Amino acid sequence: MSQIVSLAKEQIVNSITSAAKKAFGENELAPFSVETPSNREHGDYAANAALIWAKSLKKSPRDIAGEIVNNINFENTYIERCEIAGPGFINLFLSDKYYGDILLDIEEKGENYGRSDYGKGKRVVVEFVSANPTGPMHIGNARGGALGDCLSAVLDAAGYAVEREFYINDAGNQIEKFGLSLDLRYRELYEDNIEMPEDSYHGEDIIAHAKAFAEIHGDKYINKPESERRAALVDFALPKNIEGLKTDLKKYRIEYDTWFKESSLHQSGETKKIIELLVKSGHTYESEGALWFKATDFDCEDFVLVRANGVPTYVVPDIAYHYNKLEVRKFDRAIDILGADHHGYVPRLKAALTALNVDASRLDAVLMQMVRLVKDGEVIKASKRSGKAITLVTLLDEVPIDAARFFFNLREPNSHFDFDLDLAVSESSNNPVYYVQYAYARICSIIRNLESQGVELSRPTDEELSLLKEKEERELILYLSALTDEIIQSAKTYDSARITHYAVELATKFHKFYAVCRVKDIDKPLQNARAALCKDVATVLKNILTMLKITAPEKM
């Protein structure tokens, strides 16, 4: 929380608590909350202490509130006065100095305003996108990318040591399938009557890889053993695909600290070790030749670890991977951004980790629902040109990256989302990104205008700041003060949509302020204070846009 805000709330809590002690003695009283009421008539902050204590003190809330107010002392605090309202709330009104100090605080902290040490430097790894390297990324990956990247930024701002990670599934069944598909496409170039099985990859990219491979090696692999040929094709195509994922994501402004390969878990023997550890834990059994994990010990359905043919199922490397994150690399917490279709698998992972003596609550999964693309009011399922599902790259051809990143962070992950393509490209105030960027550009322009008029803007004094008394001004300042807490809430709930909502709301409050309060051609002291307010709004808007990795244009 911003120091000023937390200081004021602390003062409120202390005043009320000591008043209560005076009135009711040294009883142990339950903690209460200080919140900003939805209706501004109810003061700057409201405390629900009297309501909470009604039961233990055996008095009516309003009587308790009355006695608290009689014994309360506001000396040397930001609190100016208080009143009792409704069922027993204590509404508190803060001094001019409080509002002024908030603005000075923002000016002082600048690009660091909004940051806090809430996370205490705990190490968090956020894994997101993790698309199969066997083909291009789809729309779901676009949402996961924007959500994961922004959530990482939010956690960072809330004081966590964050690392972004991409898990590359470069082993297992889908790689087999990838090899098979490449192989058939390659042979197709030299042989007749090649049929692609139903469950192989049919994409254009596979054909392109096969052709590129043939241009280098010609037909010299045709007569080699199938396994050797497939391996050569995979070794050729997979690094290219991974490189492609990197460049596409970079275009989307996402850069990872770590690209973690599944194959490294097999090479290091960690996958094997996990099976041994699970067997040792006593939570496994054999049935029909397969090795099962007895997840019913952990309130979850049993599942197979190693098939009867000796090949581990996909869960094993996944368990090993999460074990690696939490126990080998010792992250305090691991966060996975997953499609909602994976929800059934999270409890299994947690059950296995518990069996391995890892505190499973250190793993959190953020599940995100499907995205639909909407154009002209209709859902579009495939690209008109190719007829295939729309990829991340084609989406970014259609809409600005700013819009894509903002839009995907507009709804909480766990809700279905229709992405309105028309709105995303539109340059009107209906488009939230545009609206927010416009507010920022407008402030920059106001400041430029003032400067070109020869107005000298200085650090405002307390007297100047106390002139900001209009309802719109007060509301705007109070909203600015809420940023730090908003970021912390967002980090707590893994919901980055709070941040975009905050940005839109701030832009709205700024426009409302600006409609009522002139900044140009007014008295010097008031002008200086209002200009400072404008600048602080710009600072906050910019800090948010930077977190979202969205441009903050000074002119539009």
Partner RNA sequence: CCGCCCGUGGCGCAACUGGAUAACGCAGCAGAUUCCGAUUCUGGAGAUUGGGGGUUCAAAUCCCUUCGGGCGGGCCA
Q: Which two tokens stand for residue 508?
A: 């709205």
Where is 333: in which H helix or E strand?
strand 333-339
Count of residues in the chain: 556
Q: How far is the CB of 220 from RNA (least distance, A)?
A: 31
d(Cα 180, Cα 349) in Å, to the nearest integer? 30
Amino acid at 173: N
d(Cα 240, Cα 90) in Å, to the nearest integer? 64
Q: How far is the CB of 80 from RNA (least distance, A)?
A: 16
Q: Which residue, 540, 485, 416, 547, is CA-closest to 146? A: 547
Nearer to RNA, 221 or 411 (CB): 411
| Residue 384, helix vs strand vs coil | coil
Nearer to RNA, 304 or 393 (CB): 304
Nearer to RNA, 35 or 191 (CB): 35
| Residue 236, helix vs strand vs coil | helix
Residue 45's alpha-carbon distances to 4, 14, 39, 103, 498, in angstroms, are 14, 14, 10, 18, 21
Nearer to RNA, 247 or 267 (CB): 267
Q: Which two tokens stand for residue 469?
A: 């008394």
Q: How far is the CB of 308 from RNA (least distance, A)?
A: 4
d(Cα 416, Cα 552) in Å, to the nearest integer? 28
Q: How far is the CB of 64 from RNA (least distance, A)?
A: 11
Q: How far is the CB of 141 from RNA (least distance, A)?
A: 14
Nearer to RNA, 96 or 302 (CB): 302
Count CB neighbours of 265 within 10 A. Answer: 24
Q: How far is the CB of 134 from RNA (least distance, A)?
A: 10
Q: How far is the CB of 254 from RNA (least distance, A)?
A: 21
Nearer to RNA, 248 or 420 (CB): 420
SS (H, E, C) 46-103: EECHHHHHHHHHCCCHHHHHHHHHHHCCCCCCCEEEEEEECCCEEEEEECHHHHHHHH
Q: How far is the CB of 216 from RNA (least distance, A)?
A: 29
d(Cα 8, Cα 14) in Å, to the nearest integer? 10
Q: Which two tokens stand for residue 102?
A: 């908030």
Which residues 6+ apart lie within 8 Å of 43 measured at CB? Answer: 37, 82, 83, 91, 92, 93
d(Cα 474, Cα 454) in Å, to the nearest integer? 28
Count CB neighbours of 271 within 10 A. Answer: 22
Nearer to RNA, 214 or 337 (CB): 337
Nearer to RNA, 370 or 425 (CB): 370
Q: How far is the CB of 193 from RNA (least distance, A)?
A: 27
Q: How far is the CB of 130 from RNA (least distance, A)?
A: 10
Nearer to RNA, 256 or 417 (CB): 417
Give the residues across from 113 on adjacent strands. none
Nearer to RNA, 132 or 221 (CB): 132
Which residues 6+ apart lie within 8 Å of 40 measured at CB? Answer: 471, 474, 475
